């Protein structure tokens, strides 16, 4: 990564404009009208990529310094695919109050905040508090980026299979940041909440459990209308779709109970919950989070275009409508002739994706009335 000037600095006149005395005129203009900061500085196209290093990839709580390579990579992807300047910021605290205070203090320097690799359930509270405080988009990518791409992929999987999203029985294995967000996103996108069963390490979420944190309890109240209890084998009996966002291994005995001709999205990285070769024995459509198998569920399909669209529109937050619009745009990049069981999402390198997502998100921001 590097920082480069967008204007030449070759002469004394260039320097006088880029710094003193010319820059003082810009400072005075912004002091008179703070909204000009989005036009006259890089704030309107800059995002902070913020982590506390508590839940990095599949590596866990490795701390802020070891998390920096991932944040740098994220910043590079922002620039490459969305034309968005991003700055990696690794905080040496895992206290939610301190994180909220620090990010709030940093916010005037940025047009958006991308929270990254912050463990659940702390991430839910941190994101909610920042959304309520800041007049700029706040987006925890581990939750919403994954969820948006899963919705896009499942829409297209349903098209390939000749099914309707609302008629699918869906099992979500994992009730952390990604699992909660995926479930909410699927419901927002049209899936039947009652036909979704979510599991954590103790089994199915249902209203009879007394050991659930508030996020899980809210899911239990809106999903699993049949009151299924027990383990993954119980949940998968007759299910059409398995979405794995938990790690661990799901055995073939459990998979054998699924309805034939469905879909398995085993998204744990680097080791999927179900190896694709095994998953193919029990499902017609198989997806993973890995780049060396077909149908990679990759967040890079979502976040560059989402922030590009939000910044272009001058959005103050990212609504559920904007997220669903992003998912639909990703799904629709693939024309009917491009869709197959081995291609339900575009390639992460497909140049059509970010512009399509940005346009859809900007339009949704205008519809939802969340413009600056």
Tell me which residues are annotated as active site: 19, 74
Question: How far, CA to CA in Å, does 321 sit from each of 49, 78, 212, 326?
Answer: 23, 22, 28, 9
Is 142 annotated for ligand binding?
yes
Nearest-CA neighbor of 47 among 13, 8, 76?
76
Cα Rg of the chain (Å, integer): 22
Q: Between vectors from CA 303 to CA 312 and to CA 340, what angle results, nearest 5°?
A: 115
Is 234 annotated for ligand binding?
no
Check if the beta carbon of residue 235 is closer than 8 Å to that of residue 204: yes
CA 174 to chain centre: 16
Buried-exposed string 121-142: b where 16+ CB fall within 10 A, e elsewhere: bbbbbbbebbbeebebbbbbbb
Question: How far, CA to CA in Å, does 98 sit from each of 104, 109, 129, 172, 205?
Answer: 10, 18, 12, 32, 31
Is 269 annotated for ligand binding?
yes
Check if the beta carbon of residue 357 is closer than 8 Å to that of residue 298: no
Cα–Cα distance measured from residue 327 to residue 217, given in angstroms and rounded to the nearest whole number: 26
Residue 3's contacts (CB-CB under 8 Å, 6 or more residues apart) are none
Question: How far, CA to CA in Å, does 130 sit from each of 48, 100, 160, 203, 225?
Answer: 13, 6, 39, 32, 33
Question: How far, CA to CA in Å, does 266 sit from each of 4, 131, 311?
Answer: 40, 30, 32
Residue 69 pairs with which residues in a beta bridge? none
Binding residues for a divalent metal cation: 116-117, 142
Binding residues: 116-117, 142, 269, 298
Binding residues for (S)-malate: 269, 298
């Amino acid at each position: 990564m590097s920082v480069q000037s967008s204007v030449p600095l070759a002469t004394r006149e260039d320097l006088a404009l880029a710094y003193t005395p010319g820059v003082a005129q810009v400072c005075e203009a912004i002091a008179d009208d703070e909204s000009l900061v989005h036009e006259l500085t890089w704030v309107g196209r800059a995002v902070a990529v913020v982590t506390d290093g508590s839940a990095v990839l599949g590596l866990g709580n490795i701390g802020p310094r070891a998390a920096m390579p991932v944040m740098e990579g994220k910043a590079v992807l922002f620039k490459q695919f969305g034309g968005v300047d991003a700055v990696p910021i690794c905080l040496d605290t895992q206290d939610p109050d301190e994180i909220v205070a620090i990010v709030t203090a940093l916010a005037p320097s940025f047009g958006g905040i991308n929270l990254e690799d912050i463990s659940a359930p702390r991430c839910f509270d941190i994101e909610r508090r920042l959304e309520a405080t800041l007049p700029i988009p706040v987006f925890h990518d581990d939750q919403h980026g994954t969820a948006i791409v899963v919705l896009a992929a499942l829409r297209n999987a349903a098209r390939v299979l000749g099914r309707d999203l609302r008629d699918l029985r869906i099992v979500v294995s994992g009730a952390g940041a990604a699992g909660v967000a995926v479930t909410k996103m699927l419901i927002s996108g049209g899936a039947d909440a009652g036909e979704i069963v979510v599991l954590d390490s103790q089994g199915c979420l249902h209203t009879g459990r007394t050991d659930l944190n508030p996020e899980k309890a809210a899911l239990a109240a809106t999903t699993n209308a049949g009151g299924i209890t027990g383990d993954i084998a119980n949940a998968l009996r007759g299910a059409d779709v398995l979405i794995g966002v938990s790690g661990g291994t799901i055995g073939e005995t459990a998979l054998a109970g699924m309805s034939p001709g469905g879909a398995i999205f085993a998204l744990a990285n680097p080791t999927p919950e179900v190896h694709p070769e095994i998953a193919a024995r029990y499902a017609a459509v198989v997806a993973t989070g890995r780049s060396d198998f077909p149908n990679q569920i990759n967040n890079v399909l979502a976040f560059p275009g989402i922030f590009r669209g939000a910044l272009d529109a001058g959005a103050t937050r990212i609504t559920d409508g904007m997220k669903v619009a992003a998912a639909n745009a990703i799904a629709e990049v693939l024309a009917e002739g491009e869709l197959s069981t081995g291609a339900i999402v575009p390639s992460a390198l497909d140049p059509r994706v970010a512009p399509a997502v940005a346009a859809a998100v900007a339009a949704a921001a205008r519809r939802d009335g969340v413009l600056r």
